[in-house]
């Protein structure tokens, strides 16, 4: 099925992009500066934009300094770094406090940061690098770990009154270099990790990104701000994509597991608008139209143990037409041996019983132009012992509630 990425991750390739066509069944490719030779499955390689949020969220009485506010998408682009365009990939992955969960937070040990930091921002950049910022504040981190973690780093000159220490530099391969920095300002620490392309520009990029993060740390510390809102701004999207973290609420997690979730969530944003043609590849679907879509994901979990967690994940593929979502359900039901629930939902639904793109036991629903996938993990139920049908049935009421929140 040409351009269809609903069941596997798509990475950039050397395949030439689809050019504008007079055929009204075809999607044009949106030109974006710096992007060339993108794959046919990508219709817009750079639709993501951020909008500043002036109201800071507090945790433990302390304004949270959002990791993504220390290096925004616009600043990344200004430094000549581009997100890898992938409709389904985790090119933009962040953990943010959202003010909903009331569960505990894993603060790490006396010596080390938590395994999964609650306040982080990770960008995957062209051609095969990444930049990650993790922020640690005493309200949700063991204070001694904020000292010990950077103890072996060597001291560098301060930037904007922010103390800077540098970890060891590693060569990942002949094309990339791995860099790590520790920054400290008052009761806040930040860890900056970069994997950048080697070359004459590498040192400039390294210093530019480091300086931006340090200056923003000082600025946001003095004038707290909220977590940037991420939106899709593309001429191909005639309807707004759904936000899974708005649909899947902390109260849903509490009802399902009988315990409150952590006060932070993990979010994944597909970094491109995808293009899919359901008629190709022997699907038996006669519709020749190419449809645009986006993919977003939200995960809520118990937070007291970063390794042994209850998790509840909702992933949404937002199409621009109901017909596209209907086609996706038909193909998915066949590929994943989808079985109906014992009691039908108002939304079209099936239970995954054969692992393909998703694990057995995932519950897939269609609500209008949205296809949503619910999945869960329970540390008391190892994956090998999960009964797919029983797990889907356990999420039936959850899916019913959340489906009613998907509008548009």
Q: Residue 32: beta bridge partners?
A: none
User: What CA–CA distance (Å, rounded) separates 394 from 361?
Assistant: 10
Q: What is the DSSP letter of 378?
A: B
Q: In 3-state terms, what secondary structure has residue 238?
A: coil
Rounded to an integer, the average pLDDT of 201-215 is 94
pLDDT > 90 fraction of the chain, expressed in percent and rounded: 80
Tokens at residue 346, please? Answer: 């108002």
Mean pLDDT score, 1-7: 43
pLDDT at 12 over 50: no
CA–CA distance, 15 with 13 (Å, rounded to integer): 5
Instruction: Give CA separation, 406 vs 163, 317, 373, 393, in Å.
Output: 46, 12, 13, 20
Q: Band of the pLDDT at 177, cuts 50, 70, 90? A: confident
Can you tell me which residue has the tokens 């791995």?
178
* CATH class held by domain 48-228: alpha beta
Q: Mean pLDDT of all residues in the chain?
A: 91
Separation of alpha carbons 26 and 4, rounded Å:
14
Residues constituting the chain:
408
At residue 213, the 3 state secondary structure works out as: helix
Give the separation between CA 230 and CA 245, rounded to whole angstroms.
12
CATH 3.40.1000: does it fit domain 236-403? Answer: yes
Highest mean pLDDT among 94-98, 171-175, 340-344: 94-98
Locus of tokens 């190892």: 382
Domains 48-228 and 236-403 share a fold: yes
DSSP string of 292-350? Answer: EEEEEEEEEE--S-SSS--EEEEEEEEESSHHHHHHHHHHHHHHTT-B--SS--SSEEE
Domain-wise residue ranges, the chain? 48-228, 236-403
Q: How far apart are CA 9 and CA 293, in angstroms?
A: 14
Distance (Å, rounded) from C-alpha 5 to C-alpha 277?
10
* pLDDT exceeds 90 at position 307: no
Q: Average of pLDDT values for 217-246?
A: 97
Res. 8: pLDDT tops 50: no
For residue 22, pLDDT over 90 is answered with no
Residue 293: both structure tokens together: 């879509």
**pLDDT beyond 50 at 16:** no
- Strand 363-367 relative to strand 154-159: parallel, antiparallel, unpaired? unpaired
| Nearest-5° Cα angle at 352, 350 to 9 | 110
Closest CA to 331 of 359, 313, 350: 350
Phi-psi region of 220 (alpha: psi -120 to 50; beta: other; left: phi over 0): alpha
Displacement of CA 387 from its chain's centroid (Å): 28
pLDDT value, residue 306: 65
Phi, psi of 399 (to 5 degrees): -60, -40
Measuring CA to CA, which residue among 306, 222, 231 is closest to residue 269? 231
Q: How far apart are CA 47 and CA 35, in angstroms?
A: 12
Listed in sequence order, the residues at least 6 apart from 380 whose beta carbon sits closer than 8 Å to its beta carbon are none
Q: What is the model's pTM?
A: 0.91
- Helix (H) / strand (E) element for 277: namely strand 273-277
2, with CB counted inside 10 A (0-12, 13-18, 19+), is: middle
Instruction: Say if residues 71 and 133 touch (Cβ distance below 8 Å).
Output: yes
Say if residue 20 is exposed, middle or buried (CB neighbours under 10 Å; 0-12, 13-18, 19+). exposed
pLDDT > 50? residue 11: no
Residue 6 confidence (pLDDT): 40
What lies within 8 Å, CB to CB, of 222 at 6+ separation is: none
| Sequence-ordered list of residues with C-beta below 8 angstroms from that of 70, at least 6 positions apart, any chain | 121, 133, 135, 190, 212, 213, 216, 217, 220
Give the pLDDT band of residue 381 (cuts 50, 70, 90): confident
Q: 161-192 burial string, b = 16+ CB within 10 Å, else e?
A: ebbbbbbeeeeeeeebbbbbbbbbbeebbbbb
Residue reference for tokens 């007291």: 304
């Amino acid at each position: 099925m040409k351009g269809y990425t609903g069941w596997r991750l798509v990475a950039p390739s050397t395949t030439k992009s689809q050019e504008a066509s007079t055929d009204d069944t075809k999607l044009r490719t949106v030109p974006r500066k710096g992007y060339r030779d993108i794959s046919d499955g990508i219709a817009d390689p750079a639709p993501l934009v951020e909008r500043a949020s002036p109201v800071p969220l507090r945790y433990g009485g302390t304004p949270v300094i959002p990791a993504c506010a220390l290096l925004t998408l616009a600043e990344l682009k200004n430094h000549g770094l581009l997100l890898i365009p992938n409709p389904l990939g985790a090119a933009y992955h962040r953990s943010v406090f959202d003010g909903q969960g009331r569960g505990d937070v894993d603060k790490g040990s006396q010596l080390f940061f938590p395994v999964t930091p609650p306040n982080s921002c990770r960008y995957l950049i062209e051609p095969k690098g990444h930049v990650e910022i993790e922020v640690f504040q005493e309200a949700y981190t063991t204070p001694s770990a904020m000292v010990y973690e950077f103890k072996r780093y060597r001291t560098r000159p301060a930037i904007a009154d922010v103390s800077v220490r540098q970890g060891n530099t590693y060569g990942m391969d002949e094309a990339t270099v791995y860099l790590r920095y520790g920054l400290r300002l008052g009761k806040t620490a930040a860890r900056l990790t970069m994997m950048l392309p080697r070359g004459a520009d590498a040192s400039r990029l390294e210093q530019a990104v480091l300086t931006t993060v340090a200056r923003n740390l000082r600025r946001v510390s003095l004038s707290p701000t909220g977590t940037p809102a991420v939106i899709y701004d593309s001429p191909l999207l005639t309807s707004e994509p759904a936000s899974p973290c708005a649909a899947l609420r902390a109260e849903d997690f509490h009802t399902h597991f009988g315990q409150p979730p952590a006060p932070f969530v993990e979010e994944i944003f597909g970094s491109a608008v995808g293009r899919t043609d359901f008629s190709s590849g022997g699907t038996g679907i006669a519709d020749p139209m190419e449809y645009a879509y986006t993919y977003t994901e939200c995960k809520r979990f118990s937070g007291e143990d970063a390794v042994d967690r209850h998790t509840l994940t909702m992933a949404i593929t937002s199409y621009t037409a109901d017909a596209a979502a209907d086609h996706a359900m038909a193909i998915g039901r066949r590929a994943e041996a989808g079985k109906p629930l014992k009691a039908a939902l108002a939304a079209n639904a099936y239970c995954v019983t054969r692992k393909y793109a998703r694990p057995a036991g995932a519950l897939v629903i269609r609500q209008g132009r949205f296809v949503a996938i619910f999945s869960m993990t329970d540390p008391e139920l190892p994956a090998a012992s999960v009964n797919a049908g029983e797990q889907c049935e356990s999420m039936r009421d959850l899916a019913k509630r959340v489906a009613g929140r998907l509008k548009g």
